Structure 1
Amino acid sequence: MSVMDIEQVMQYLPHRYPFLLIDKVIELELGKTITAIKNVTINEPFFPGHFPVSPVMPGVLILEAMAQAAAILSFKTKNYTPEDIGIVYFAGIDGARFKKPVKPGDQLVLKVDIVREMRGIWKYTARAEVDGALVAEAELMATLRDKP
């Protein structure tokens, strides 16, 4: 059962196809943690070029999916939507590691925890798993910015 379905996710992320990388949220504890899902299909627009013979989800998009989950967590924690305040911008990535390739048919489980929020800068730890196995991890930083 989802905590947030795709319609609710779209209320908290300004991203749209082909860059919306969260399908649903299955766990959310305000101020602490989020678990979100990205269903990876062969129809993803990046697979024809990455790589045609052996399709693999680009690592940078796995990081982006983790960042989108972090953005939802921040917005929900502050009780804001992008319409209220603006956008959560990626500010930094540390310690990114990729352990296993993500392929069509995989379900990417994104787990993000807030480490701290200070003066509008958020720090998170993030993990991506497929079938319970770690595929990527990183420390992320982001900031909430006013609407352009």
Structure 2
Amino acid sequence: MELDIKGIMDRLPHRYPMLLIDRVLDMVPGKSIVALKNVSMNEPFFTGHFPHHPVMPGVLIIEAMAQAAALFSFEDDSEVNPVDHKIAYYLVGVDGARFRRPVLPGDQLRIEVVAERISRSICKYSGKALVDGQVAAEAKLMCAIRVLED
């Protein structure tokens, strides 16, 4: 299954400048995803990180992995929709994060995330982000699903 930006925006509540997934190349609902993030010099974080040597912040690479995870985790579940204003999907844990190479303007991040465990309250994933086939970052992620009170 593939998704363009419209399909992504239909499934995630994030918007500019926090929407960090541009395209989904392959998705197996409840199992895994391969997504892309095109890194442009026009990203707002590059003005301060760093003015003379722009580097994508590692925390945003991790956030892109978490957004990708949200896209495939509940695709087959009509009761959980991350864009629903009554449901919150939070990144609550990051383990073993490693940053292997800087991500620069002009790079294309290939984000690969695999589910280790998905439940109604806590989900665990293994993710990595690659540039030109080289691992730029990798981490174990934990996300929580919460029903929001009015």
User: Which interval holds the TM-score relative to the shorter structure?
Assistant: over 0.9
Show the counterpart of 1:37. Answer: 36
1:97-117 CA distance string (max 9 Å, x none): 000000000000100000012
Shift of 1:85: 5.1
1:55-80 CA distance string (max 9 Å, x none): 00000000000010011111314244
CA contact (8 A) 1:92 1:141 kept: yes
Assess, with a 3 A threshold, how the Cα gap between structure 1 residues 19 and 119 changes in structure 2: closer, same or farther: closer
Identical-residue share of aligned pairs (%)? 53
1:28-55 CA distance string (max 9 Å, x none): 0112100111000000000011111110
Are 1:7 and 2:6 matched, yes or no? yes
CA contact (8 A) 2:24 2:33 kept: yes
* Cα RMSD for the two superposed structures: 1.5
Show the counterpart of 2:136. Answer: 135
Distance in 2 (CA, whole Å) between partners of 1:147 and 1:9 is 22
Between the two proteins, the alignment pairs up a number of residues equal to 147
**How do 1:1-148 and structure 2 match up within 5 A?**
3-79=2-78, 80-81=80-81, 82-83=83-84, 86-118=87-119, 120-147=121-148
SS in structure 2 of the partner of residue 71 of structure 1: helix
- Partner letter of residue 102 of structure 2? P
66-75 vs 101-110, greater mean Cα deviation: 66-75
1:9-38 CA distance string (max 9 Å, x none): 011111110000000111001121001110
CA contact (8 A) 2:11 2:71 kept: yes
* Structure 2: runs of 5+ lacking an equivalent: none
SS in structure 1 of the partner of residue 73 of structure 2: helix
SS in structure 2 of the partner of residue 68 of structure 1: helix
Distance in 2 (CA, whole Å) between partners of 1:119 and 1:71 is 13
TM-score by length of 1: 0.93
SS in structure 2 of the partner of residue 61 of structure 1: helix
